[in-house]
Structure 1
């Protein structure tokens, strides 16, 4: 089990949202790179970055901070938010991002994602509201079931699927273990849980499945609900 401390970037700051609503943003740091350094000291091997402005704009918008994070840390970084063409993928890899997360484009053009996964380290972000895929920074809900989208990428060379239950994201109401398992089983791909993690029990429940490879941790850490150094020791 890999723990992915999460940093959501909005206007150059590290924030957390509730249920993906931009107006719910709570600022946790004016210097996100300092958070990444702290995560690294705690034992993080990966950090999960989301460019929130980019997710809505359809192109990266927090490049200055992303570059600063890369220059000031040795952890592996995965990045999502507004990455929708090969040129942007190459640009992000060139600045040192280790894995690219493709979300909205995976619904609209799954073949593009498969083509990119054949060439680059790609994760697919599947975000769902009531089981249906949400796109465009969660501003729209499609008619596609999340599990059907997961099946689309079985044997496609994708490194991982990051599945988020949007209704739980940022709510500290508990991770949706069943949804995560549904995605893992539908895809057969390494699956990372996201959304709603509230405490140590959630992480233990995911570990107990034996089928989930990672979990993204956000508000539970920022709000002091989770002893992150202890969790890194638990999964080592």
Structure 2
């Protein structure tokens, strides 16, 4: 199982939000590229990037910070937030991004997801963010009546590389991930599932790894910044299985 260190970008800085609230952000590093290098030096295999401003604006806002990270690091990176058209997808992939994450547009324009996945096989993931089993969009600001499993299943034949599933109520709260819901989703679809939201200890990672469903990986942010998870230790524990 891959551990994806998260770098959430707001106003050019690496931050973490509490339950997706832009007014409740903590700045962890003024230099996101330097933060990325810390994770890379610790041995991470991937980076998970989120353009928080972009998720609300509907277009890339923290492009300079993302480009600086891509220029400094050699590990593959995935990015979500404000990616809502083919031109933006193509531009990011041309700049060296390994995987784009389509969230809001997966609900509002699923045909774009299919078109992108066909045009760029292996490079398009779907981000499904949910409260109480229902999908939220536009930086988690708007809730829909779409159920997580229904949305995920709708892309079974689209060729998407992964589904990043975030339980918003757990995100940034250091209360542990929603292991049961994540495992249920992974069992419901053949698409690789990446867990996100609330991963706050090595025990959480082990619980996800051993949940009985085949998870591709887990994303952690605040716990790595706070020191609740030692990245090198966690990577070693996951590799030793």
* TM > 0.5: yes
- Aligned equivalents of 2:144 and 2:105: distance in 1? 12
The Cα of 1:235 is off from its aligned counterpart by 1.8
SS of equivalent to 2:215: coil
- Aligned equivalents of 1:21 and 1:165: distance in 2? 14
TM-superposition CA deviations, 1:15-72 (whole Å, max 9, x none): 0000100000100000000011111111111000000000000000011111111111
Q: Which residue of 2 aligns with 1:60?
A: 60
The equivalences for 1:62-211 within 5 A come to 62-120=62-120, 121-209=123-211, 210-211=213-214
Structure 2 residues without counterparts, runs of 5 or longer: none
The alignment status of 1:226 with 2:229, answered yes or no, reads yes
TM-score by length of 1: 0.98
Q: Please, which moves more after superposition, 159-168 or 115-124?
A: 115-124
TM-superposition CA deviations, 1:145-187 (whole Å, max 9, x none): 1111011111310000000000000000001011111221222
Query: 1:190–1:212: 8 Å Cα contact kept in structure 2?
Result: yes
- Aligned equivalents of 1:206 and 1:56: distance in 2? 30
SS of equivalent to 2:170: coil
SS of equivalent to 1:213: strand
- Aligned equivalents of 1:206 and 1:213: distance in 2? 10
SS of equivalent to 2:119: coil
Structure 1 residues without counterparts, runs of 5 or longer: none
Root-mean-square deviation (CA, aligned residues, Å) is 0.8
The Cα of 1:99 is off from its aligned counterpart by 0.2
Q: Which residue of 2 aligns with 1:212?
A: 215
- Aligned equivalents of 2:118 and 2:39: distance in 1? 31
Q: Which residue of 2 aligns with 1:7?
A: 7
The Cα of 1:192 is off from its aligned counterpart by 0.2
Query: 1:152–1:187: 8 Å Cα contact kept in structure 2?
Result: no
- Aligned equivalents of 2:161 and 2:140: distance in 1? 23
- Aligned equivalents of 2:157 and 2:77: distance in 1? 24
The alignment status of 1:18 with 2:18, answered yes or no, reads yes
Matched residues, number: 236
The Cα of 1:188 is off from its aligned counterpart by 1.3
TM-score by length of 2: 0.96
Moved over 4 A (4+): none
- Aligned equivalents of 1:108 and 1:187: distance in 2? 21
